[in-house]
Structure 1
């Protein structure tokens, strides 16, 4: 069995995603309770920002630690990652 692929940033990303998960669960409850759309939209904005920040951190960390700028396959992967930012 191979070693898990982990970076120093992964625990922080997990914390951020767990927080976003909590926000998202709250948004679902807000919708079910019939809360104001503006309040729901603001909470969804928080969820979106948290997920976007986690994604950006993961991608930047991958670029910094997993890609070799001289490799042909890595160039293809870098272009694919750039579309996700």
Structure 2
């Protein structure tokens, strides 16, 4: 995995960990169910996005050895961006 992507992934994981710790505190405090669910949805969204980033990076690495022209690289990047955005 490219260093920049690894650093970004670590940052996202730390953020998700912080959110989960916050949710744990909310549960311990007996906070409203809807508030807890809202925060859980935010964590799930972040994790889903991380999965897209990891999958996209894997595809890019697998194709790194291939000889793609500039147009093909642009199409590949657009497709990977879509995967990350929608996953």
Question: Do they fold alike, i.e. is TM over 0.5?
Answer: yes
CA distance in 2, matches of 1:11, 1:58: 12
| Larger relative helix fraction | 2
SS at match of 1:9: helix
Match of 1:52 in 2: 48
Deviations 1:48-80 (A, max 9, x none): 1111111110110011113578xxxxxxxxxxx
- Give me the CA root mean square deviation: 1.7
Match of 2:32 in 1: 36
Deviations 1:14-43 (A, max 9, x none): 101110100001001101110000000000
Match of 2:5 in 1: 9
Aligned length: 65
CA distance in 1, matches of 2:62, 2:14: 25
Q: Is residue 23 from structure 1 mapped to residue 19 from structure 2 by the alignment?
A: yes
TM-score normalised by the chain length of structure 2: 0.67
Structure 1: any 5+ residue segments left out of the alignment? 1-5, 70-84
CA distance in 2, matches of 1:40, 1:27: 6
